[in-house]
């Protein structure tokens, strides 16, 4: 397979070399964020040797396909724009190269290892551009996105911070600013799957000028209020998220996990 094959007029045929070139790098770039987001920094393993769990495999497949569509749109002239409205020049550079004469004789196989390591100054400009736009750009903030998407899949809100700060029904929770901050931090901890969600991190206690006992009291009150005024929201964003953590949840059963 040659780099020029990426510009094939047949989208299905072009996807084969695209996948061969970029899939290994995408798997490398997503492995640690996905492990942190879904597996509490342990390992992700599927039924076959070397495979990942179905959720992580699906995430990588979606990212690969999204990158491919982004590349093909740029190749067709629909180049993505920056926030200032300018065309993304790196994608234009990739498109120019894959259509060039040199690309007809450029084998894909030797390029795969270059995408698996950090870019170097002596790498071809188009390859560094491709790495930036088709591997690293799609995986930005992946860990945060996956945590949010998984929480939503369990019935949770996409933005509980926005809900509790802005929704009319949540106004009783905003009567105590410190309790609200503790509650939002708690919801963030359980989405991360922490084994000690009831333990408030020391830096948060310092920032709010609270001792542990007062913080626990305020958090308990806020949780009770949330359950009272919006039981369905409490079930989706507290109960369901805790149930997805397959580890001890009592604060005395594990070491604090704040990161």
According to the model, what pLDDT value does residue 198 have? 86
User: Which two three-digit tokens encode residue 239?
Assistant: 């109960």
According to the model, what pLDDT value does residue 255 have? 40
Rounded to whole angstroms, the Cα distance separating 124 from 192 reads 39
Burial class for 97, CB neighbours closer than 10 Å (0-12, 13-18, 19+): buried
According to the model, what pLDDT value does residue 3 have? 93
Q: What is the DSSP string of 6-25?
A: GG-SSHHHHHHHHHHHHHHH
Q: Is 107 helix (H, G, I), strand (E, B) or coil?
A: strand
* DSSP label at residue 117: S
According to the model, what pLDDT value does residue 83 have? 83
Burial class for 201, CB neighbours closer than 10 Å (0-12, 13-18, 19+): middle
According to the model, what pLDDT value does residue 251 have? 43
* Other CB atoms within 10 A of residue 232 CB: 8
Mean pLDDT (the chain) is 89
According to the model, what pLDDT value does residue 41 have? 60
Compute the average pLDDT of residues 13-34.
95
- Does pLDDT of 249 surpass 60? no
Could you give the count of Cα atoms lying within 13 Å of 95 in the half-sphere of its Cβ? 18
Compute the average pLDDT of residues 18-31.
95
pLDDT digits (tens, 9 = 90+) for 126-157: 999 999 999 999 999 999 999 999 889 888 99
pLDDT digits (tens, 9 = 90+) for 46-105: 888 878 999 999 999 999 999 999 999 999 988 888 888 888 899 999 999 999 999 899
pLDDT digits (tens, 9 = 90+) for 207-228: 999 999 999 999 999 999 999 9
* DSSP label at residue 151: H
**Residue whose C-alpha is closest to residue 184's, from 169, 204, 203, 202:** 204
**Residue whose C-alpha is closest to residue 186's, from 161, 211, 168, 163:** 161
User: Which two three-digit tokens encode residue 250?
Assistant: 């009592």
Compute the average pLDDT of residues 7-16.
93
The residues near 163 (Cβ < 8 Å, ≥ 6 apart) are 157, 170, 233
Alpha helices in 103-176 (DSSP H): 112-116, 125-131, 142-153, 160-166
Quote the percentage of the chain above a pLDDT of 90: 69
pLDDT tier for residue 246 given thresholds of 50, 70 and 90? low
Q: Are 200 and 212 in contact (CB under 8 A)?
A: yes
Quote the percentage of the chain above a pLDDT of 70: 94
According to the model, what pLDDT value does residue 220 have? 95
- Does pLDDT of 250 surpass 80? no
Q: What is the DSSP string of 42-94?
A: S----SSTT---HHHHHHHHHHHHHHHHHHHHHHTT---B-TTS-B-HHHHHH
- Does pLDDT of 258 surpass 60? no
User: Which two three-digit tokens encode residue 69?
Assistant: 């569509």
According to the model, what pLDDT value does residue 252 have? 41
Q: Are 234 and 243 in contact (CB under 8 A)?
A: no
- Does pLDDT of 117 surpass 60? yes
Compute the average pLDDT of residues 197-205.
91
Question: By mean pLDDT, which of 34-38, 220-224, 252-256 is the weakest?
Answer: 252-256
């Amino acid at each position: 397979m040659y780099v020029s094959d990426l510009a094939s007029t047949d989208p299905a045929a072009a996807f084969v070399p695209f996948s061969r070139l970029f899939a290994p790098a995408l798997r490398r770039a997503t492995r640690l964020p996905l492990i942190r987001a879904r597996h509490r920094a342990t390992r992700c393993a599927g039924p076959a040797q070397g495979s990942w769990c179905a959720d992580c495999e699906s995430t990588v497949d979606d990212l690969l396909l999204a990158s491919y569509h982004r590349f093909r749109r740029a190749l067709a002239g629909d180049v993505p724009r920056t926030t200032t409205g300018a065309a993304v020049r790196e994608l234009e550079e990739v498109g120019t190269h894959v259509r060039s004469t040199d690309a007809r004789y450029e084998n894909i196989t030797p390029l795969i290892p270059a995408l698996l390591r950090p870019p170097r100054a002596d790498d071809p400009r188009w390859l560094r551009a491709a790495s930036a736009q088709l591997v690293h750009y799609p995986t930005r903030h992946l860990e945060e996105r996956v945590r949010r998407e998984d929480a939503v899949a369990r019935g949770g809100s996409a933005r509980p911070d926005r809900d509790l700060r802005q929704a009319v029904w949540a106004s009783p929770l905003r009567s105590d600013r410190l309790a609200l901050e503790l509650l939002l931090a708690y919801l963030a901890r359980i989405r991360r799957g922490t084994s000690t969600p009831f333990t408030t991190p020391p830096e948060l206690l310092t920032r709010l000028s609270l001792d542990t006992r007062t913080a626990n009291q305020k958090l308990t009150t806020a949780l009770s209020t949330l359950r009272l005024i919006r039981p369905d929201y409490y079930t989706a964003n507290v109960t369901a998220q805790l149930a997805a953590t397959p580890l001890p949840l009592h604060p005395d059963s594990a070491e604090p996990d704040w990161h």
